[in-house]
């Protein structure tokens, strides 16, 4: 989000990511090597402190030494409703100490084995010192047992203060944040399908079944009654906010801006009343009646809400609003996007959209432009226009297969400078490292829909991890 926007808008707050943490080693060692357990407990405290520095609630189940301890820890973590459980193998332990935690907690487990330093001192080490470096020897055993028990296996191996290992661990915590947000999310769906867009149609049951959360079916009348209650003073206040957040193009009609501001205040109330984390919407309308006017007046308010971390997607694109929420959770923005054109001379895919935009991905102060017509849609009003920040980006889509299974789909590219359309759209020129036509063919073959989220940064690895925790397939499109 731009500095101005972050100063003016209150970010949405949600349940914190909940990480379960348990460390362990084989209790048979403790009487044999009296110095070993204190050393491993010190390592465990360091790991606990590192997790405490992350933006998450950490449920520390302590240190376990046998299968009985593991059962107690598993019950504590089961009751805690964690988004991810991290099992720290401080030395060798038996797989019977890990399996109950994964089985009873019914939560994805990440195995970490972080030896004390980069390497052993072979000249001075005896058996007791070596055992502090022996967490890795359990990893194949645990992986085998997880596979035989039908439990997904994932691990990070490294040494205690290795920052590259901690980056991988943090990525799993980010993925757990996505899992946690989607498990508890309330997605609004208002209006009806854009006529003929069969790809956009989504079975609401499958959203809750595969991702968790709830889809709240809304009527445009739910918005209408709230817009009716907006006062002139509130409209004036929202217009003033819009003039601080956006540069107003001379094409903006004052009445259209005031209407967009009124709808914006009503949208805020709708989101608050239904406790929504995201929303997708569309309404066609006819003859300038109130529902058509509401649909045409959505973009200002939807963009403000998206900037606050409550993604809004037009054209009834529920799966894209979900992808936008996941991208938002990763700290990557996530703006409503489709293909606009290909530039074969420059080797770029031009993409963007009219409708709600995420101010966090803007390279400059966003512009409000007045539109006499929306492409392919009835209505008029104001739309947001800006070019996306130059640098790394990731396209992030929620695809669906013939059996109804969702998948996360990603492709990493670079936004590069060049000429852009000035038609009230968010616009970017993305270089995917090859022929833009080949990228379109490969991207389309994944099962993506018409739209997706455009996220800042290269996020494919984090998206892959989130798909893993959610039990979804992952596809990455790369031309290199």
Same domain? 150 vs 254: no
Same domain? 31 vs 76: yes
The angle, 0 to 180 degrees and rounded to 10, between the axes of the packed helices 460-470 and 163-184 is 50
Same domain? 96 vs 127: yes
Q: Let me know if residue 6 belongs to a domain.
A: no
CA distance readout (Å), 106 to 103, 150, 326, 387:
6, 12, 22, 44
pLDDT of 374 higher than 60: no
Q: Please write the tens of the pLDDT for every residue from 257-308.
A: 999 999 999 999 999 999 999 999 999 888 889 999 999 899 999 999 999 9
Hey, which bits of 151-269 come out as E strands?
Answer: 155-159, 186-191, 214-218, 247-248
Q: Let me know if residue 8 belongs to a domain.
A: no
Residue 427: CATH number of its domain = 3.20.14
**What is this structure's pTM?**
0.94
Last residue of a domain, one of 182, 216, 234: 182
Same domain? 155 vs 220: no
Q: Which domain holds residue 233?
A: 185-476
Three-class SS of residue 383?
A: strand
Q: Let me know if residue 4 belongs to a domain.
A: no
Q: What pLDDT does residue 3 have?
A: 55
The CA-based diameter of the chain, rounded to the nearest angstrom, is 87
Same domain? 89 vs 223: no
Same domain? 173 vs 193: no
Per-residue HEC secondary structure of 76-114 comes to HHHHCCCCEEEEEECCCCCHHHCHHHHHHHCCCEEEEEE
Judged on CB neighbours under 10 Å (0-12, 13-18, 19+), 165 is middle
Give which of 81, 105, 98 is closest to 139, Cα–Cα. 98
Q: What pLDDT does residue 2 have?
A: 58
Q: Let me know if residue 25 belongs to a domain.
A: yes
Same domain? 148 vs 262: no
- The H or E element that residue 367 is part of is strand 367-371
106 or 88, higher pLDDT: 88
Same domain? 75 vs 203: no
Phi, psi for residue 369 in degrees, rounded to 5: -115, 140
460 within 8 A of 476, measured Cβ to Cβ:
yes
Q: Kindly report the number of other CB atoms within 10 A of residue 208's CB atom.
A: 15
Same domain? 59 vs 169: yes
Q: Let me know if residue 11 belongs to a domain.
A: no
Q: Let me know if residue 220 belongs to a domain.
A: yes
d(CA 406, CA 397): 10
d(CA 221, CA 141): 58
Task: Kindly state the DSSP code that residue 230 receives in the 8-state scheme.
Answer: -
Q: Please write the tens of the pLDDT for every residue from 332-366.
A: 999 999 999 999 999 999 998 877 888 888 887 88
Domain count, the chain: 2
Q: Please write the tens of the pLDDT for every residue from 40-96.
A: 999 999 999 999 999 899 999 999 999 999 999 999 999 999 999 999 999 999 999
Q: Let me know if residue 321 belongs to a domain.
A: yes
Q: Let me know if residue 196 belongs to a domain.
A: yes
Same domain? 432 vs 325: yes
Q: At a CB cut-off of 8 Å and minimum separation 6, what does 286 contact? A: 292, 378
pLDDT of 376 higher than 70: no
Phi, psi for residue 394 in degrees, rounded to 5: -135, 130
Give which of 338, 366, 346, 406 is closest to 252, Cα–Cα. 366
Same domain? 206 vs 164: no
Residue 131: CATH number of its domain = 3.40.50.10940
pLDDT (mean) for 299-324: 95
Same domain? 324 vs 435: yes
Q: At a CB cut-off of 8 Å and minimum separation 6, what does 76 contact? A: 59, 61
421 within 8 A of 340, measured Cβ to Cβ:
yes
State the Cα angle at 114 between 180 and 144, rounded to 5°.
Answer: 70
Q: What pLDDT does residue 424 have?
A: 72
Task: Kindly state the DSSP code that residue 377 receives in the 8-state scheme.
Answer: B
Q: What pLDDT does residue 378 have?
A: 47
Q: What pLDDT does residue 480 have?
A: 79
Last residue of a domain, one of 182, 213, 234: 182
Last residue of a domain, one of 127, 152, 182: 182
Average pLDDT over the chain reads: 93
Chain centre distance of CA 163? 23
CA distance readout (Å), 472 to 13, 71, 210, 399:
26, 29, 8, 10
């Amino acid at each position: 989000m731009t500095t101005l926007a972050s100063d003016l808008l209150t970010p949405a707050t949600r349940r914190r990511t909940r990480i379960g943490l348990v460390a362990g080693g084989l209790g048979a060692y403790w009487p044999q090597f009296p110095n070993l357990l204190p050393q491993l407990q010190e390592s465990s405290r360091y790991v606990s402190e590192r997790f405490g520095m992350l933006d998450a609630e950490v449920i520390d189940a302590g240190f376990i030494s046998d299968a009985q301890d593991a059962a107690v820890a598993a019950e504590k973590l089961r009751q805690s409703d964690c988004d991810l459980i991290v099992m720290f193998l401080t030395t060798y332990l038996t797989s019977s100490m890990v399996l109950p935690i994964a089985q009873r907690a019914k939560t994805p487990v990440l195995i970490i084995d972080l030896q004390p330093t980069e390497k052993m001192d072979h000249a001075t080490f005896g058996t007791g010192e070596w055992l502090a470096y022996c967490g890795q020897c359990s990893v194949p055993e645990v992986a085998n047992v997880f596979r035989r028990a039908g439990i997904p296996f994932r691990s990070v191996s490294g040494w205690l203060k290795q920052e590259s290992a901690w980056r991988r661990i943090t990525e799993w915590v980010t993925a757990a944040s996505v899992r946690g947000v989607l498990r508890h999310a309330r997605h609004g769906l208002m209006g009806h399908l854009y006529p003929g867009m069969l790809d956009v149609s989504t079975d609401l049951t499958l959203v809750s079944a595969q991702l968790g959360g709830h889809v709240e079916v809304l009527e445009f009348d739910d918005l209408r009654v709230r817009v009716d209650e907006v006062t002139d003073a509130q409209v004036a206040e929202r217009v003033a906010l819009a003039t601080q957040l956006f540069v107003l193009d001379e094409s903006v009609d004052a009445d259209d801006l005031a209407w967009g501001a009124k709808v914006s205040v009503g949208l805020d109330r709708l989101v608050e009343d239904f406790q929504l984390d995201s929303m997708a919407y569309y309404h066609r309308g006819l003859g300038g009646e109130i529902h058509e006017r509401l649909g045409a007046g959505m973009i200002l308010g939807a963009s403000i809400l998206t900037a606050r971390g409550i993604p809004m997607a037009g054209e009834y694109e529920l799966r894209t609003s979900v992808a936008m929420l996941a991208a938002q959770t990763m700290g990557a923005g996530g703006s409503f996007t489709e293909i606009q054109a290909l530039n074969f001379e420059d080797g770029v895919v031009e993409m963007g959209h009219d409708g709600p935009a995420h101010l966090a991905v803007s390279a400059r102060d966003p512009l409000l432009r007045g539109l006499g017509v929306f492409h392919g849609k009835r209505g008029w009003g104001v739309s947001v226009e800006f070019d996306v920040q130059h640098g790394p980006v990731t396209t992030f889509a929620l695809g669906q297969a013939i059996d109804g299974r969702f998948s996360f789909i990603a492709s990493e590219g670079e936004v590069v400078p060049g000429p852009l359309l000035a038609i009230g759209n968010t616009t970017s020129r993305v270089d995917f490292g090859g022929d833009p036509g080949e990228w379109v063919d490969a991207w389309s073959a994944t099962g993506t829909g018409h739209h997706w989220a455009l996220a800042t940064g290269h996020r494919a690895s984090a998206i892959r991890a989130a798909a893993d925790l959610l039990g979804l397939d992952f596809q990455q499109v790369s031309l290199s």
